[in-house]
């Protein structure tokens, strides 16, 4: 793995695809065990979670459904602090077990807003599954039941995560070099 340059910024290798896939498999095994008999609806948050969601779903062995929602709170390398729902949820969530699939949890503001929105639709329960979480950066109290990996408060790119809409296609995860 070599450094990559995106829009004039350098990123160094951080987490290999192999490590990511091992962690995804472990999270899927826990979900398969915990959600047996529940037929959960996985709500993958676009754009960032699409690769994680695809790999996760290939490891899920229980009956389930998947749908997508698009929320935005990032510009460049920093959160705007404002969450905008771009594409809504069309499914009936009443009485459903919901698993939100996120690429990364930073401050938690995006998830907090999404959970509040879902709560108005009367789901039986709402669970959080994320590829990455930055515990140091959380500003809201969230019950993140399924986190594949904890990472430091660095800006990263790859495996679905972007820098100004580029770099999502990288197979590994890279950390910005300041």
- How far apart CA 73 and CA 81 sit, in angstroms, is 6
Active-site residue, selected from the candidate residues 55, 106, 162, 172: 106
Strands (E), 88-171: 97-105, 125-133, 146-150, 156-157
Q: Per DSSP, what are the bridge partners of residue 88?
A: none
- How far apart CA 83 and CA 79 sit, in angstroms, is 9
Determine whether 162 is an active site residue. no
Place of tokens 């994680």: 52
- Of 77, 138, 76, 79, which is closest to residue 105 (Cα–Cα)? 138
- Of 146, 132, 145, which is closest to residue 103 (Cα–Cα)? 132
Q: Per DSSP, what are the bridge partners of residue 5?
A: 10
**Phi first, then psi: what are they for 33, rounded to 5°?**
-70, -50
Which sequence positions are flagged as catalytic?
A: 106
């Amino acid at each position: 793995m070599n450094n990559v340059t995106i829009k004039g910024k350098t990123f160094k290798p951080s987490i290999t695809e192999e490590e990511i896939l091992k962690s995804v498999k472990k999270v899927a095994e826990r979900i398969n065990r915990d959600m047996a008999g529940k037929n959960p609806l996985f709500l993958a948050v676009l754009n960032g979670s699409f690769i994680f969601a695809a790999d996760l779903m290939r490891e899920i062995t229980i009956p389930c459904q998947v749908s997508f929602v698009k929320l935005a709170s990032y510009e460049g390398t920093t959160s705007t602090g404002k969450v905008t729902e771009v594409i809504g949820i069309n499914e009936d969530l009443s009485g459903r077990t919901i698993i939100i699939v996120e690429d990364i949890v930073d401050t938690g503001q995006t998830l907090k807003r999404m959970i509040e929105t879902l709560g108005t639709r009367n789901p039986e329960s709402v669970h959080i599954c994320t590829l990455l979480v930055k515990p140091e950066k959380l500003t809201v109290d969230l019950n993140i039941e399924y986190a594949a990996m904890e990472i430091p408060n660095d800006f990263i790119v790859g495996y679905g995560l972007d820098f100004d809409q580029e770099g999502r296609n990288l197979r590994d995860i890279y950390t910005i070099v300041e």
